[in-house]
Amino acid sequence: MSTASSYSAKDITVLEGLEPVRRRPSMYIGGTDSKGLHHLVWEIVDNAVDEYLNGYATKITVVLHKSGQAITVSDNGRGIPVDLHPKFKKPALELILTTLHSGAKFGEGASYFHAGGLHGVGSSVVNALSLKLIATVRRDGHEWQQTFKRGKTSGTLQKVKPCRDHGTAIHFEPDPDIFRSTQFDADTIRHHLEDMAYIHSGLQVFFHIEATGEKLDLSHPGGLPEFLTQMVKEANKAPVTENHFHLSRDNNGKDEKIELALQWTESTEESIRSYVNGIRTSSGGTHENGFKSAIVKAIRNYIETHDIKTKGLSITAEDIREGLVGIVSVFCREPMFQGQTKERLNNPEMAGIVDSFLRPSLEAWLNANMQSADRIVGRIVLAARAREASRAAAQEVKRKSVSQRRLNLPGKLADCTATDLDDTELFIVEGDSAGGSAIEGRNRKTQAILPLRGKILNSEGMATSKALLNQELADLVSAIGTGIGDAFSLDRLRYGKIILLMDADQDGHHISTLLLTFFFRHMPGLLKAGRVYLAQPPLYRINVGKETHWARDDDHKEQILKSLRSNAKYDIQRFKGLGEMNPRVLGDTTLNPRNRTLLQVKIDSELSADQTFVTLLGKDASLRYHFIMNSAALADELDV
């Protein structure tokens, strides 16, 4: 060990050639683990892609050899030059593969306009870290070949045979002295090549796996829209809208090329992939920041322009991007990557370029597709409400958890015996009297009955933890079995249909509305899955001789009366409630699947539904006042 007194020029070590790469491989490939090993493949593939980007190649083939420890990457580009360099008096091929910072991607007269690698490092790094590398070049009417070992030439450049086609093939075997394991993973390579094929929709990409005999065509001419669809499908994320947003700009190589696609889903996760010159930037960067910023601005401008009410609700950028699946791909002349592994873009101008490109177009798309836009904004509003509800719930202390409440089913539940989800139904009934009639008139095998006492709690604007303090709502959650709020899981649903069975009068409609409010705010998964229904019990019984007609409301009663012959004598009975209805009659008219009518509850626009619940059931009475004043002229009669 040198001391301060003995420290002199002889202590200075100069690493020549590719020795710095072998001494400190992590500086160039990020590590010597599996990620670093596969980075060797990406470096060679990126060079082949650069030939495609600049119009010289159309096809790339990657072969994973039988041992799993050797790779060959070939393209049909121009082929690496093999003539002698005028200054260094070496074949250009040898110079490129044995010297750092050598290549055709420097200066104003560079041969590449768009390229993933601009530092002339990638191929020489692969050579330095390979036990063996064979470069085969087809150009100028001949096939040329040169071999290397651990970054140094092991043979001179050879003219092998005459050849008409053109291109480059790099075969390499990673050095086991450098890497923990030299075994390549076929799935990792396939996924990377597929991503690349989506980004470069005109490029043909082939992958051969010799060990299994597979020869895969990974080309994807559908490009980013196809990539977006695949990402949404693979993640099992339900789209909020059927259509997606796609935008591209390519000024024939004279400017930054940009392409992007995005779609909102019901997922609670944000998933964005960004690329620069075809290289995945897994840590994002300025282009991804511009992408995110533009989306947030466009949504906020749409909300403001259309005066969408979100009173008392603070919508964050994270709420707007929740569930978003997006891809942004940019091509620029001088990318400034963070490190040789190119995981992040640092060009400051790219944030503004992407923002100004995306924001006005996305705003125009939202205004031209207002039904889709309202669904997106509705989903964002629900995300904001869920976030605030979760925060309020976290502040609650010493509250009984949902799982504890589910330990025992409510005692007043008359359960069914069937266990097949598709065969079972839960009827939520108003009052013990109606519950008694429903229990007697039901099919005990498939139909369960849960009576509730009177009008339940209005849970609009209420934290989930507070709503569960209400015994009726807690019993309802226990009976359904899914849990609630963040603990909700449709996999735990105990009944295929949740049916609201209330009196056919205004009070019954009010209770149904309160229950729908509870489901919409605290168990929205039930509504999205189409599991909630409204029963249609009769309000009137009309006897005409031996015939009996059932009318569900006043309008239906008038229709039936008009359909009778003019001299018909009839008797009308109005039911005051389900409790006074004979169990057999209730069973035949409302419970029996062969005779009954059920209305499935669906949400066409989450935004409209949110605003309706806020207006009619929220704490701000002025919203109801304005609604009544504006709608009074449309009402034939009011039930006050």
Distance CA 67, CA 186 (A): 12
User: Which pLDDT does position 640 carry in this prediction?
Assistant: 46
Cα atoms in the Cβ-side hemisphere of radius 13 Å centred on 559: 8
The single residue of 46, 94, 430, 606 carrying the catalytic annotation is 430
Residue 105 near residue 111, CB atoms below 8 Å: yes
Distance CA 260, CA 272 (A): 11
Distance CA 49, CA 31 (A): 24
User: Which pLDDT does position 316 carry in this prediction?
Assistant: 92
Residue 295 near residue 328, CB atoms below 8 Å: no
Residue 289 near residue 351, CB atoms below 8 Å: yes
Residue 200 near residue 52, CB atoms below 8 Å: yes
Cα atoms in the Cβ-side hemisphere of radius 13 Å centred on 370: 7
By the 10 Å C-beta count (0-12 exposed, 13-18 middle, 19+ buried), 11 is classed as exposed
User: Which pLDDT does position 447 carry in this prediction?
Assistant: 94
The single residue of 507, 553, 588, 620 carrying the catalytic annotation is 507
Distance CA 602, CA 606 (A): 10
Buried b (16+ CB within 10 A) or exposed e, 298-333: bbebbbeeeebebeeeebeeebbbbbbbbbbbbbbe
Distance CA 338, CA 279 (A): 13
Residue 258 near residue 345, CB atoms below 8 Å: no
Distance CA 89, CA 564 (A): 107
Q: How is residue 61 written in tokens?
A: 């083939």
User: What's the gap between Cα 550 and its chain centre?
Assistant: 48
**Percentage, residues of the chain above pLDDT 90:** 45
The single residue of 50, 75, 175, 503 carrying the catalytic annotation is 503
Distance CA 76, CA 490 (A): 52
Torsion sign across C-alpha atoms 332, 336, 342, 346? negative
Distance CA 440, CA 429 (A): 13
Q: Which DSSP state fits 185?
A: -
- Phi first, then psi: give them for residue 336, nearest 5 degrees: -110, 95
The single residue of 140, 388, 505, 553 carrying the catalytic annotation is 505
Residues in the chain: 640
Distance CA 544, CA 1 (A): 112
**Residue 503 known to be catalytic:** yes
User: Which pLDDT does position 109 carry in this prediction?
Assistant: 42
Distance CA 64, CA 185 (A): 9
Give the residue from 304, 285, 302 showing the smallest Cα distance to 353: 285
Residue 357 near residue 287, CB atoms below 8 Å: no
Name the stretches of the chain with pLDDT < 70. Answer: 1-17, 101-121, 251-255, 339-341, 390-408, 454, 631-640
**Residue 507 known to be catalytic:** yes
Residue 520 near residue 605, CB atoms below 8 Å: no
Q: How is residue 171 written in tokens?
A: 């075969």
Q: Phi-psi region for residue 150, left (φ > 0), alpha (ψ -120 to 50) or beta?
A: left
Torsion sign across C-alpha atoms 25, 30, 31, 33? negative
Angle at 271 between CA 269 and CA 275, to 5 degrees: 165
Residue 88 near residue 95, CB atoms below 8 Å: yes
**Residue 505 known to be catalytic:** yes
User: Which pLDDT does position 55 carry in this prediction?
Assistant: 87
Against a cut of 0.75, is the pTM above it? no
Distance CA 615, CA 625 (A): 9
With both helix axes pointing from N to C terminus, report the angle between 370-395 and 606-617 in degrees, rounded to the nearest 10.
50
User: Which residues, in sequence order, are CB contacts of 107 under 8 Å at separation 6+?
Assistant: none
Domains of the chain from N-terminus onward: 19-217 (3.30.565.10), 223-393 (3.30.230.10), 409-538+577-603 (3.40.50.670), 541-574 (no CATH)
Give first-to-last CA distance, the chain, whole Å: 94
Distance CA 125, CA 150 (A): 10
Distance CA 55, CA 113 (A): 10
Beta strands in 82-141 (DSSP E): 130-139
